[in-house]
Chains A and B, each alone.
Chain A
Amino acid sequence: MKELIQTLVETNSPSGYENAVRQLIRQKIEPWVNEIKVDALGNLLGIRKNPNAPKIMLVAHMDEIGIMATHVDSKGFIRFIPLGGVYPHHCVGGRVRFLNGVAGVIGVEKLSNPQELPSLEKMFIDVGAVDAKSCPIKIGDVAAFERPFLDLGKRWVSKAMDDRIGVAVLIETLQSLHQSAFEIYAVFSVQEEVGVRGATTAAFGIAPDLGLAIDVTATGDTPKGNKMEVELGKGPAIKIRDAGMLADPRIIKWMIQTAEKASLPYQREILEFGGTDGRAVQLSRSGVPTGVLSIPCRYVHAPSEMVDRDDVLNAVRLLTELLNNPPNLEFSA
């Protein structure tokens, strides 16, 4: 699975520009699904047919955060805007790789107050050009952050764990799954980082009976970090809520009972910021009972997002169990 993750995270595909990663995922899932579709927004759908079974939409977003060039000055310096949630304090001294292969480094204007955190407007990208004419980057060109996959043994690090790790969990589950209680719509969605757009249309198109997003969640286990209980290495997290949604209590119960029955570790997750594709699925059409399987991840939206190997493997196991044990969707008093 490590090789799969490495290939996925080193394929640059920021929001709206997912072609490269879509081609890669398509190749990886082809043997494991009955049908593949690409919808109007560019979502990749892998369908595992099971005609009379309930339809489940599994969704992991394949886009990553990045930047877009907005201006090239006479000396060839490039100004840029964020694609998704890019934090200025992670940018300084960073490197980017444009989709045409050109690399660049992020520089900062001289700050009148060196203590202040510079905004992205005070930054620029230097691709080594000597003037505007020789600059190989045009307005509108898109780049991802440049950082190789890092294997720390039990922990894996990349600039795109959010959400290629969800993509990897979904691919791995499709590969290992022999049968299922569902007709499975495995969706690799676009544009999650710019407002869960892909999942919105995919959910409308599929009209699933239930939904499950697979995405990263933050942790509270770093020095003076977030105040939350999720930790790396304590198992995949079952979302109870985030800033975008309240997970459906019936789905939470299903996930917890399935994890306990299979003796798999899990954590109960409350994330007080952020959201996932799960929101878009839940709000679709006449409403969809929806939950989220989260992979705990430190330093989300930094160029070094860290996950735990066992959490990832257990997420695959839990997802496989879930797909073989359908939930009871009755409401309880």
Chain B
Amino acid sequence: MKTTEIKSILQQLTSVPALSGYESRLHETLNALWQPYLDQTSISRVGSYHALRYGKAAEPRPRLMLTGHMDTIGLMVNRIQDGFLRLTAIGGIDARLLPGQMVTVHGKREIPAMIVQPPPFLLPKEFQTNPVPLQHLWADCGLSADQARQQIQIGDLVTFDQAFLELNNDIVASPGLDNRASLAALTVCIQELTKHQPLWDSWFVASVQEEETQVGALSSAFQIQPHLAIVIDVTFANSPGSPPHKTYPLGKGITLGWGAAVHPYLYNSFKDLADQLEIPYKLEPMPRRSGTDADSLQTVAQGIPTMVIGIPLRYMHSAVEMVSLKDIQRVARLMVEFIDRLDVDYLEKIKWDETN
């Protein structure tokens, strides 16, 4: 698929804010993007989106689960103080990036607001010259104390109000690219897969609450009981001064996770396939936690051999996250080719003794 088409998919996906715990707003978008290409779709008991493409092998067929989380980070109204809104974080928010940020408060109506940092003389001494933590910031929507109480309640969601931005060289920026970039890759994979006749059942999952409890990945893996799982998530792209061993070039290829969360046989399969297809990749060391749904999913039930694929992203957990459409295209292609090549006896080949 061309990057222009991928851009339009990504625009659709990022146009709907769906913060952790409140992902059902995205169900309709996924119905539009996924349903026409798959055999069945359903919603899990906690709101994850499940979509199944039947394989062609005789039953009982092995099951592959491909998952990207559908939730995004954001904020929630915590207290209402004389019309000003105090906020709490949904997911890991970098409070240093918040002052000056335009947001939408999802109250009884959608209310525009901005996040404001109080002037230094109103702050505790230690924050007068240092970054101001979230509890000292507020959102101002220009409402009086009474109006705010009427229109806004504790627990109302607050989302970034930033437009999707197309830059040069297939690079785009938007809030929520963590992890809508991966959902875009899954969408491309689903649509491209119609040209193929894979043997395995493919379960595509958009999981809830990765940024919080990972309940989506846990529960979907328990329900589907896949034989293999592939987790797609974003990873840190490099920028001037960033450590080269912890970041990956933007638009220059994908990452293949390597570490405790990743089954080495699966890693080798993906590495060999990427070499063969000439898809550029870097090994991403994840010695402890991967920081993705894989950490929860891998140990569900009797355990699931898991692979983590990364899309490099700059400015993680900010309102101006940045990815390359080319990297999304690469991840999608690698997944399609992997699914297409899965033999019915692949599971028998996964031997710990033959990996290193």
Contacts and interface: CB of A to CB of B under 8 A. Distances in A.
Partners in one complex: yes
Interface of A: 220, 227-229, 240-241, 244-249, 252, 268-270, 272, 279, 282-283, 285-289, 331-333
**SS class, residues of chain A in contact with chain B:** loop
A332 B153 CA distance: 19
A270 B21 contact: no
A42 B80 CA distance: 43
Contact of B79 (A227, A279, A282, A332): A227
Contacts of B43: 331
21 contacts: A220-B79, A227-B78, A241-B76, A244-B213, A246-B20, A246-B90, A246-B213, A249-B22, A268-B155, A270-B154, A272-B78, A272-B88, A282-B46, A282-B213, A282-B215, A285-B219, A287-B218, A287-B222, A287-B223, A331-B43, A331-B47
Contact of B155 (A240, A272, A283): A240
Contacts of B135: 227
B274 to A, nearest CB: 33
A268 B107 CA distance: 14
A285 B31 CA distance: 25
Contacts of A270: 76, 78, 88, 154-155
A333 B216 CA distance: 18
Contacts, number: 86
Given A245-B213, A249-B21, A283-B215, 19 more contacts: A229-B154, A240-B154, A240-B155, A241-B155, A248-B46, A249-B22, A269-B154, A282-B215, A285-B219, A286-B45, A286-B219, A286-B223, A287-B44, A287-B46, A287-B220, A289-B46, A331-B24, A331-B43, A332-B24
Interface in B223-242: 223
B275 interface: no
B326 interface: no
A267 B22 CA distance: 20
A268 B78 CA distance: 10
B79 A229 contact: yes
B82 to A, nearest CB: 13
Contact of A283 (B90, B154, B213): B213
B45 A289 contact: yes
A333 B28 contact: yes
B79 A246 contact: no
Given A241-B21, A283-B213, A333 B155 contact: no
Contacts of A246: 20-21, 90, 209, 212-213
B25 interface: yes
A209 to B, nearest CB: 8
Nearest to B215: A283
A228 B78 contact: yes
A113 to B, nearest CB: 22
B312 to A, nearest CB: 29
B27 interface: yes
Nearest to A230: B154
B222 A285 contact: yes
B28 to A, nearest CB: 6
B87 to A, nearest CB: 10
Contacts of A279: 213
B86 interface: yes
Interface in B52-79: 76, 78-79
B153 A268 contact: yes
Closest 10 CB pairs of A and B: A287-B219, A246-B21, A287-B46, A331-B24, A240-B155, A286-B223, A268-B154, A287-B45, A286-B219, A283-B215
A286 B76 CA distance: 27
A247 B155 CA distance: 11
B110 to A, nearest CB: 14
A246 B213 CA distance: 8
Nearest to B301: A285
Contacts of A227: 78-79, 86, 135
Nearest to A275: B213
Interface centre among A220, A246, A288 (most CB of B within 10 A): A246
Nearest to A272: B88
B170 to A, nearest CB: 31
A120 B27 CA distance: 50
Nearest to B43: A331
A187 B107 CA distance: 36
B157 to A, nearest CB: 10
Nearest to A329: B45
Contacts of A288: 45-46
B238 to A, nearest CB: 33
A93 B75 CA distance: 42
B329 to A, nearest CB: 30
Interface string B30-60: 0000000000000111111000000000000
B105 to A, nearest CB: 15
Contacts of A229: 78-80, 154
Nearest to A269: B154
Interface string B140-172: 000000000000011100000000000000000
Nearest to A239: B155
Nearest to B45: A287
Nearest to A210: B45
Nearest to A220: B79
Contacts of A285: 219, 222-223
B251 to A, nearest CB: 34
Contacts of A248: 21, 46
